């Protein structure tokens, strides 16, 4: 009976420790997540968009990406402790597209 109680206690402590570490890790990771919007030229179709997203998603630290050939826009969310805008740009250019720089927001014409 004492062995069973010792095993249960150890298991509960292990679970409690893991939950604490996960919450600390999550709060740290959220602070390191940034989003960059890039003006990307050369995309002409949805296949191009998928190629750009696949290239970017293969980078360590990329959490989400979106590409639009119509808007010439690629949006990437990434962990700054694992990657950076230069690596994202290089991945896009490696698959044959041109990163012109940051996306420029255009205000609607009234």
The C-alpha atoms of residue 66 and residue 6 are separated, in whole angstroms, by 51
- Residue 103 has what pLDDT? 84
Residue 39's nearest CA partner among 84, 97, 109, 78 is 97
Starting at the earlier edge strand, list the strands of the sheet with 98-102: 62-68, 73-79, 33-41, 98-102
Residue 84 has pLDDT above 80, yes or no: yes
Q: Which of 8-22, 29-43, 47-61 has the highest mean pLDDT?
A: 47-61
Query: Is the full-model pTM beyond 0.75?
Result: no
CA distances from 46 to 36, 64, 66 (A): 20, 17, 11
For the CA atoms of the chain, what is the radius of gyration? 21
User: Could you tell me the domains of the chain?
Assistant: 31-102 (3.30.70.100)
Would you place residue 46 in the very low, low, confident or very high pLDDT band (cuts 50, 70, 90)?
Answer: very high
- Residue 33 has what pLDDT? 94
Would you place residue 38 in the very low, low, confident or very high pLDDT band (cuts 50, 70, 90)?
Answer: very high
Residue 17 has pLDDT above 80, yes or no: no
- Residue 31 has what pLDDT? 74
């Amino acid at each position: 009976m004492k062995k069973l109680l010792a095993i249960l206690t150890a298991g509960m402590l292990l679970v409690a420790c893991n939950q604490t570490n996960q919450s600390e890790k999550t709060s740290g990771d959220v602070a390191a997540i940034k989003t960059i919007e890039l003006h990307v030229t050369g995309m002409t179709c949805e296949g191009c968009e998928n190629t750009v997203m696949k290239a970017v998603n293969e980078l360590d630290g990329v959490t989400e990406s979106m590409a639009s050939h119509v808007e010439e826009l690629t949006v990437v969310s990434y962990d700054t402790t694992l990657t950076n805008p230069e690596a994202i740009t290089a991945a896009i250019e490696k698959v044959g597209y041109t990163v012109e720089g940051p996306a420029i927001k255009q205000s609607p014409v009234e």
